[in-house]
Structure 1
Amino acid sequence: MNIIYTVCNRSSLPHALALGASVMEHQPGDIFYIGWVDNRPVPHLPEQYRIIPVTDLAIPLWQQMTEQYYDFELLPACRPWFAKKIMELNPHCNRLTFFAPTVLLLNSVESVIGRQAEMTLTPHITSPLRKSAPLEDKRILNIGMFHAGSWSIRKSTQTLDFLNWWAVRTLDRAKYDLCDGMCLDQLWLNFGPVRIHNWEKVSEPSWHYGLHRLPNHPLEAANGQFSVGGNTLLSVDFAGLLFFDPIWSDYAGMARRSIAFQELVSYYRTLLAAAGPEATPKGTPGYGQIPEIKAGRILRNKLAAKLSDITEFIDQYQI
Structure 2
Amino acid sequence: MNIIYTVCNRTNLAHALALADSVLQHQPGDTFYIGLVDSITVDNLPGHVKLLPVSALSIPGWDQMAAAYYDFELLPACRPWFALELLKKHTECRQLTFLSPTTLLKGAFNGLLNAESEMFLTPNISAPLRTSPILDDKRILNAGMYHSGSWTLRPSDKTRAMLEWWAHRTIDRANFDLCNGMNTDQLWLNYVPVWVPATTTLHNAGWHYGLNAVLNKNLTANGNSYQVDGQPLVSLEFAGLGHFDPIWSDHAPLVTENKAYQALFIEYQRIVIKKKNELELNGEPAFGKFANILPNRLMRKGIAAKLKQLTTYIDQF
Partner of 2:258: 258
Partner of 1:233: 233
Partner of 2:153: 153
Question: Secondary structure of 1:3's match?
Answer: strand
Residue 237 of structure 1 and its aligned partner are, at CA, apart by 0.6
Partner of 1:128: 128
Residue 147 of structure 1 and its aligned partner are, at CA, apart by 0.5
Residue 117 of structure 1 and its aligned partner are, at CA, apart by 0.8
Q: Which runs of 4+ in 1 moved over 6 A?
A: none
Q: Distance in 1 between matches of 2:113 and 2:274?
A: 28
Matches within 5 A, 1:49-198: 49-113=49-113, 115-198=115-198
Gaps of 5+ in 1: none
Q: Distance in 2 between matches of 1:271 and 1:294?
A: 20
Query: How big is each residue's C-alpha offset from its partner over 1:191-250, in whole Å with a ceiling of 9 and x where there is no partner?
Result: 100010111000012100000001111221221332211222100110000111111000
**Structure-2 change in CA distance of 1:242 and 1:113 (3 Å):** farther
Q: Distance in 2 between matches of 1:117 and 1:294?
A: 38
Query: How big is each residue's C-alpha offset from its partner over 1:252-310, in whole Å with a ceiling of 9 and x where there is no partner?
Result: 01112222111010111122133241325211111100013261220232233134325
Number of aligned residue pairs: give it.
317
Q: Distance in 1 between matches of 2:101 and 2:276?
A: 17
Partner of 1:30: 30
Query: How big is each residue's C-alpha offset from its partner over 1:10-45, in whole Å with a ceiling of 9 and x where there is no partner?
Result: 001000000000000000010001101001112331
Q: Distance in 2 between matches of 1:164 and 1:149?
A: 19
Q: State the one-letter code of the partner of 2:168.
A: V
**Structure-2 change in CA distance of 1:43 and 1:175 (3 Å):** same
Instruction: Answer whether contact 1:43 1:281 (CA < 8 A) is retained.
Output: no
**Structure-2 change in CA distance of 1:115 and 1:250 (3 Å):** farther
Instruction: Answer whether contact 1:14 1:280 (CA < 8 A) is retained.
Output: no
**Structure-2 change in CA distance of 1:175 and 1:276 (3 Å):** closer
Instruction: Answer whether contact 1:129 1:216 (CA < 8 A) is retained.
Output: yes
Matches within 5 A, 1:290-309: 290-293=290-293, 295-309=295-309
Q: Distance in 2 between matches of 1:193 and 1:79?
A: 18
Residue 129 of structure 1 and its aligned partner are, at CA, apart by 1.5
Partner of 2:200: 200
Q: Distance in 1 between matches of 2:62 and 2:8?
A: 16
Q: Distance in 2 between matches of 1:224 and 1:310?
A: 50
Partner of 1:6: 6
Question: Secondary structure of 1:142's match?
Answer: helix
Between stretches 104-113 and 86-95, larger displacement belongs to 104-113
Question: Secondary structure of 2:7's match?
Answer: strand
User: Normalized against structure 1, the TM-score is what?
Assistant: 0.95
Q: Distance in 2 between matches of 1:315 and 1:195?
A: 46
Q: Distance in 2 between matches of 1:97 and 1:68?
A: 28
Q: Distance in 2 between matches of 1:315 and 1:160?
A: 51
Partner of 1:287: 287
Instruction: Answer whether contact 2:244 2:294 (CA < 8 A) is retained.
Output: no
Q: State the one-letter code of the partner of 2:98.
A: F
Between stretches 51-60 and 224-233, larger displacement belongs to 224-233
Instruction: Answer whether contact 2:215 2:257 (CA < 8 A) is retained.
Output: no
Between stretches 65-74 and 280-289, larger displacement belongs to 280-289
Percent of aligned pairs sharing the same letter? 49
Gaps of 5+ in 2: none
Matches within 5 A, 1:211-226: 211-226=211-226
Cα-Cα RMSD: 1.5
Partner of 1:19: 19
Question: Secondary structure of 1:11's match?
Answer: helix
**Structure-2 change in CA distance of 1:155 and 1:292 (3 Å):** same
Query: How big is each residue's C-alpha offset from its partner over 1:142-188, in whole Å with a ceiling of 9 and x where there is no partner?
Result: 11100000000001100010111111000110010011111000111
Q: Distance in 2 between matches of 1:194 and 1:280?
A: 44
Question: Secondary structure of 2:267's match?
Answer: helix
Q: Distance in 1 between matches of 2:300 and 2:84?
A: 41
Q: Distance in 2 between matches of 1:280 and 1:88?
A: 33
